[in-house]
Structure 1
């Protein structure tokens, strides 16, 4: 399978002692460049032509970092105020929404929504070492975030948002890993109900949420530096400066295999069905199979691709072998669905020449990890399209079921009902095919909402709600459970009346009583008279921005739908653009 041409990141400076690359749920690449963060913003091009620059737009993303320790004493920790200007050391996007957690150089953990700071996590009543954070991890459902401090403690914050988007953070639990309270928590991983943490003395602890945060030490302190840690099924996989370890959480057994001294290997997990991982370093890569006992085999997935790149660079303007070329890895990240990996690297010739930041150039290559892929709930929108292109425009193995139905309990609250089918496999399949087909469709969504309206027809009394349900019935060629009336739609410039009882079955436009043609809202099928709308960049469909339209009297049905679908497109799963 031919790989995409590498994505180039120029004129940036990285902190090579940190993980510099993260791949978000929506397909965004986050790069911890210095002093401002750099992102690879996902873009949509119908013709990618095998070039990753047609999937990502690289640009700076300047965030304003607050420093809660600005006026604190740094007598015991010189890191607190050693940098007059804060920058991001570690970036972790939420696995379910558009929140972004950033660990700064001043040991703050700040949560952003877009470029707006939402909260700086803190426990003001505690001392400085308990408030200084060195690691973080999101819960799989995005409702909690765990941070590690300098007293061998993990603090779990609960993240809650109201209907207006206002967010609050409260302490859910304080997990003490060591009674002595000595040691910095340098790395945290959270998968399902298990939290794994690594301390600066290279000891490892796990905590089980389902067992009231019960703490167990699974690896004692060691002089061998831990390079990487990964939760994989019932195992904790660890690489240090000389070996690979597999720790069985269920049975308690530990097995290891030597990797040689001095090489820092990072873990790339493959499908849990295979019990196989790839280990990669600056010098080599290999596969570890641990179905029965640990066995080391050659890597036939990533290694051939990197070797070709290395040979190409070694031969470039070096016909007399005057230069020694080395490949340096600066970060790696699995795609949100786990079917691909992004590797950030640079090719350097050994020389005494000093280079300024404007001369730096890094490359991001994308490698498929399997022969096929499926549409995953862990990804959304353009992340599906990226995987489709990385796999050479191979369609997902999920069966296409556009003519099926989404069957959920129509007696549940509307918000829960919509949330249930937004990640339904059939719905996600429909949204993915909207990327590659000429005409976008949301028939499954409309039929599911119509079924809900039929069941709750006695509660539908608002005129705009009735108009919406009646329009759905006309488009679906079904009998309407309510009678539509003449309604008035208003905007800041004009108001007109519409007779929805007429058989106007066009899905995109409607004619007013005054004889004017108006475009319909893609969600509610109501006419759009206002300029305050949001647009899906893939389908070019528009919806009314309920947060800015306060002139029309929306009912519980239309208002709830517009509020829930205000950020994420029902057509493609991408972020809606504000106009």
Structure 2
């Protein structure tokens, strides 16, 4: 399959040599450049022109780091202030929220939302080694953040959400992995399901069950071979060290190994659908089938593309073969849905040459891993669109789903907030949102029908005039009889007050006030928009009322819940709403 042209990153330096690329569920690429993070912000264009630069906008993403050790003595830990300027070492976006966790060079873990610092995680009453962090990982549902310290401990922080939308973090549980002296550092964490896998700096591995307090068991003893990369596939923990590819059965504890040879650090690209992995390094790559005895297979997915790029580069930059050339991989990240892989790389001649920052240049290539793809809940909005374009505008293979099954899961007896979230995560709604990305006229009729069904079932509870106006408008749009009658309702904004007869206006767009003024409707509640304080879907350009900014109108539980749940993620496309 033909690839998109590479995304070019210029004038950026990387502090580390690995894991410098992360692909978030909303399609954002995070590159841990120095001193500020660089991001590939997802953009939307109908015509991409086979060039990935039309899918991403590269820009600086500066973050403010607060060093909790600023006034502490560094005699016991020189890493606390060994760098004159703090920089990001590790970035982990939340799997279900807009939160971003960042580990910096001062061993602090910060959590941000839209570049605003939410929390600098710390337990000030503990010893210095217990407060010095080296790794982190979100839980699969995004409700917790696990952090590893220098005392051989993993602390799980739970997110606490307030009614005003703010979040805070509180330590939930601490697991002691190795109480020996000196205590080893926890250097990597992997969280899959209820199982947390922790890797220590002595290359031992521990398994933690988050559901139990006394649930720590050692799965691998310490060794002199450095652990390079890891992932969990099904019942197996796969990891590579300096010389081997290893498969650990998480249930039986059986460990199998395949010798790779010393000297080259090998990364793992999992192929979940095929139950295979691609092992890739700067020099070579291969495939390994993991559900049976290890068998090496030639890599026909990634290797041909990288080899072609290397030959083209050498034809221009090393035409006479005077220099030894090499391809250097700085980061590998699966797409959030797992159907594509992004590789951050550069090519260099092995020779003495000094480079200034303006000469630095990296590339990110996007490679499809399968013949087809499908829409999953792990990605949303523009991440689906990116996969669609990476697969050369190949439509996804849609899962069949009975509409009755969707409504069975969306029980009208559950709270409205949960009802909306359940319906939005359904296959039916995700398919509709994807087609809204590629078609000219976006629609959310199934969503409106589901919300109207909920309103009909709860009609005795609809006593607020604005709630009744919203439901009556929904009924008129859908062509159904309304379970309530709104009559004339007054709506206010900072500059004007208008009255509307919702029985007379019905499905009219724009809606005409009793003062004979025309107003556009809110895309979710179908109420007239009298204010400039709105949230906008960047794909469909549909607007909804910003409930946090509108304090003049007395919204009822129905309309308030709709606006609060849908204020951040567009119901039309799944993209982030903008102001």
Question: TM-score range with shorter-chain normalisation?
Answer: over 0.9
**2:506 counterpart (504, 518, 522):** 504
1:229-268 matched pairs, under 5 angstroms: 229-268=230-269
Once the two structures are superposed, what CA deviation does each residue of 1:456-508 show, in whole Å capped at 9, x if it has no partner?
101101111101000000011001000121111211111111110015323x4
Structure 1 position 16 matched with structure 2 position 20: no
> Is the partner of 1:487 in helix, strand or coil?
strand
Mapped to 2, the partners of 1:302 and 1:251 lie a distance apart of: 32
Aligned counterpart, 2:573? 572
Mapped to 2, the partners of 1:171 and 1:505 lie a distance apart of: 51
Mapped to 2, the partners of 1:233 and 1:386 lie a distance apart of: 26
Mapped to 1, the partners of 2:497 and 2:288 lie a distance apart of: 67
Aligned counterpart, 1:359? 359
Aligned counterpart, 1:538? 539
Aligned counterpart, 1:465? 467
> Is the partner of 2:47 in helix, strand or coil?
coil
Greater shift in the superposed pair: 447-456 or 161-170: 161-170
Distance 1:18 1:105, change over 3 A: farther
Mapped to 2, the partners of 1:251 and 1:405 lie a distance apart of: 36
Aligned counterpart, 1:215? 216
Aligned counterpart, 1:552? 553
Mapped to 2, the partners of 1:113 and 1:438 lie a distance apart of: 32
Aligned counterpart, 2:119? 119
> Is the partner of 1:157 in helix, strand or coil?
strand
Distance 1:231 1:213, change over 3 A: farther
Aligned counterpart, 1:90? 90
Structure 1 position 416 matched with structure 2 position 388: no
> Is the partner of 2:418 in helix, strand or coil?
helix
Aligned counterpart, 1:444? 446
> Is the partner of 1:268 in helix, strand or coil?
strand
Aligned counterpart, 1:308? 308
Mapped to 1, the partners of 2:403 and 2:288 lie a distance apart of: 43
Once the two structures are superposed, what CA deviation does each residue of 1:429-477 show, in whole Å capped at 9, x if it has no partner?
1111000000010111101110010011011011111010000000110
Mapped to 1, the partners of 2:232 and 2:22 lie a distance apart of: 17
**What is the CA-CA distance between 1:319 and the residue it aligns to?**
2.9
Mapped to 2, the partners of 1:405 and 1:448 lie a distance apart of: 13
Greater shift in the superposed pair: 86-95 or 394-403: 394-403
**What is the CA-CA distance between 1:517 and the residue it aligns to?**
1.3
> Is the partner of 2:159 in helix, strand or coil?
strand
Give unmatched runs, 5+ long, in structure 1: none
> 8 Å contact 2:175–2:213 — kept in the other structure?
no
1:287-326 matched pairs, under 5 angstroms: 287-326=287-326
> Is the partner of 1:160 in helix, strand or coil?
strand
Give unmatched runs, 5+ long, in structure 2: none
> 8 Å contact 1:400–1:430 — kept in the other structure?
no
Mapped to 2, the partners of 1:124 and 1:405 lie a distance apart of: 49
**What is the CA-CA distance between 1:413 and the residue it aligns to?**
1.0
How many corresponding residue pairs?
576
> Is the partner of 1:130 in helix, strand or coil?
helix
Mapped to 2, the partners of 1:403 and 1:240 lie a distance apart of: 48
> 8 Å contact 2:505–2:512 — kept in the other structure?
no
> 8 Å contact 2:18–2:329 — kept in the other structure?
no
> 8 Å contact 1:368–1:390 — kept in the other structure?
yes
Once the two structures are superposed, what CA deviation does each residue of 1:201-245 show, in whole Å capped at 9, x if it has no partner?
111111112344511111111111111111111111110111101
Please identify runs of 4+ aligned residues in structure 1 that moved more than 6 A.
400-405
Distance 1:361 1:287, change over 3 A: same
Aligned counterpart, 2:381? 381
1:97-116 matched pairs, under 5 angstroms: 97-116=97-116
Mapped to 2, the partners of 1:384 and 1:155 lie a distance apart of: 34
Greater shift in the superposed pair: 515-524 or 203-212: 203-212
1:47-86 matched pairs, under 5 angstroms: 47-86=47-86
**What is the CA-CA distance between 1:372 and the residue it aligns to?**
1.0
Aligned counterpart, 2:494? 492
Aligned counterpart, 2:523? 522
Distance 1:409 1:25, change over 3 A: same
Mapped to 2, the partners of 1:420 and 1:399 lie a distance apart of: 17
Distance 1:184 1:174, change over 3 A: same
> 8 Å contact 1:18–1:89 — kept in the other structure?
no
Mapped to 2, the partners of 1:397 and 1:91 lie a distance apart of: 32
> Is the partner of 1:383 in helix, strand or coil?
helix
Mapped to 2, the partners of 1:274 and 1:351 lie a distance apart of: 41
Mapped to 2, the partners of 1:404 and 1:154 lie a distance apart of: 43
Aligned counterpart, 2:328? 328
> Is the partner of 1:304 in helix, strand or coil?
helix
> Is the partner of 1:419 in helix, strand or coil?
helix
**What is the CA-CA distance between 1:77 and the residue it aligns to?**
1.0
Mapped to 1, the partners of 2:282 and 2:321 lie a distance apart of: 21
Distance 1:404 1:390, change over 3 A: farther
Structure 1 position 132 matched with structure 2 position 132: yes
Mapped to 1, the partners of 2:269 and 2:24 lie a distance apart of: 16
> 8 Å contact 2:111–2:117 — kept in the other structure?
yes
Aligned counterpart, 2:430? 428
Structure 1 position 161 matched with structure 2 position 136: no
Mapped to 2, the partners of 1:58 and 1:147 lie a distance apart of: 29
**2:456 counterpart (413, 438, 454):** 454
**What is the CA-CA distance between 1:415 and the residue it aligns to?**
1.1
Aligned counterpart, 1:27? 27
> Is the partner of 2:79 in helix, strand or coil?
coil
